[in-house]
Amino acid sequence: MQKFLSNLNKNYFFVLIIFVQIFLVNPTIVFADLPNGNAVKDPNAILRNSLPIKQIELQDIQHRLEDTSDLVRGGRWPALTKTVAKSQSLLKKYNRSILEKIENDNKTIAENTLNDLKTDLDNLADTAKIKDKYAFIDVRKEALEKIGDLEEFFLPNKFPYKIPSEFDNLPRLLGRANVKINTTKGSMEAIIDGYNAPLTGGAFIDLVSKNFYNDLPINRAEEFFVLQTGDPKGDDIGYVDPETNEQRLVPLEIRVPGEPETFYNETFEDLGFYTETPTLPFATLGTLGWSHSSEAVNDGSSQFFFFLYEAELNPAGRNLIDGRNAAFGYVVDGADILEELNMDDRITSIEIIEGEENLKAHA
């Protein structure tokens, strides 16, 4: 026995144990279908990546441009120049096939957008040559916005996911909506994602349309963690439907990349998911999350929170909220205001800018 556990054989023994644990004890681990590399922290990138489309050509260019962030920070200009050149080559190669897959009604707009994208990539190549970091970031943002506009032409005409019939009476957002959130410290704009959180997004947009959140205070403020609001005035802790006189309850709702259907009222712990990242992660300042009690996951009603992302305390893809609460949107403009808000502040109003037609009262 002593000979078997010599230093060299000990190494072989431990490797064997690890092999058995990975390949025999846990053979059914589900891995999230996410882009390679670091967790994505840009809200616009998360929203692009979470669209229910499969447009490989555009997404190839998109991911290449998104993946330049570390290269820009490191000033790796030769690698940046190479990446932009590859993106230009791919756009030239894919241009015709992308247009062929777009419906005739949208072809002219798409063609103009593709031409503008080509111009952006040309400008991006020029900024890489002169090593202008800030100009590169600005032009890349414009190029990615155009890619996002093009990707919307590939959205399905019919809502792509099944919502369980037990929730037929709940409002649902079958698409996306843009809102302006006005506070005592200023305004923000957010995108609410009904593709990946139709019931949560639906409940929120429905309450916004009813002016429910107007003048409600920030009722919870934890530094580097969350700002919460949506607690109605009076004794109720959620929205009470005036027709039934009952509090409306919204189930926990989470999508996972690579999974065919959305999970309802099950946490990642319930599902045995310990390394997965949801399609809508709590990965950036201003992630919108739906609140529920500590006793149940299906008793959220009206209260929601802004996630105050802090890289060191809440590493993207590795925090305690993913898989326990539903994210349903992201602040895409004005998120800096969140660092100034506290329990002395309030939501003055929330306005629907775009997408209200995607709200349905019930199934």
Percent of the chain with pLDDT over 90: 83
pTM higher than 0.75: yes
The domain made up of 53-154 has a fold known as Four Helix Bundle (Hemerythrin (Met), subunit A) (1.20.120)
Give the residues of the chain that fall short of pLDDT 70: 1-39, 311-318
Which CATH architecture does the domain made up of 165-360 adopt?
Answer: Beta Barrel (2.40)
Matching residue, tokens 């996972």: 256
Rounded Cα gap, residues 263 and 162, in angstroms: 10
Mean pLDDT over each residue of the chain, to the nearest integer: 89
Which DSSP letter does residue 21 get? I
Ordered DSSP codes for 40-63: P--HHHHHHHTSS---HHHHHHHH
Structural tokens at position 47: 């929203």
8 Å CB contact between 160 and 52: yes
The domain ranges of the chain are 1-29, 53-154, 165-360
Instruction: Report in angstroms the alpha-carbon separations of 191 from 32, 87, 104, 205, 267.
Output: 23, 28, 28, 11, 24
CB 204 within 8 A of CB 328: yes
Q: Are the C-beta atoms of 266 and 278 separated by less than 8 Å?
A: no
26-64 pLDDT per residue, tens: 333 323 333 444 457 899 999 999 999 989 999 999 999
Residue 253, beta-bridge partner list: 264
Query: What's the Cα-to-Cα distance from 93 to each of 60, 98, 164, 318, rounded to whole Å?
Result: 12, 10, 42, 38
Q: Judge whether 30 and 259 are in contact, CB under 8 Å.
A: yes
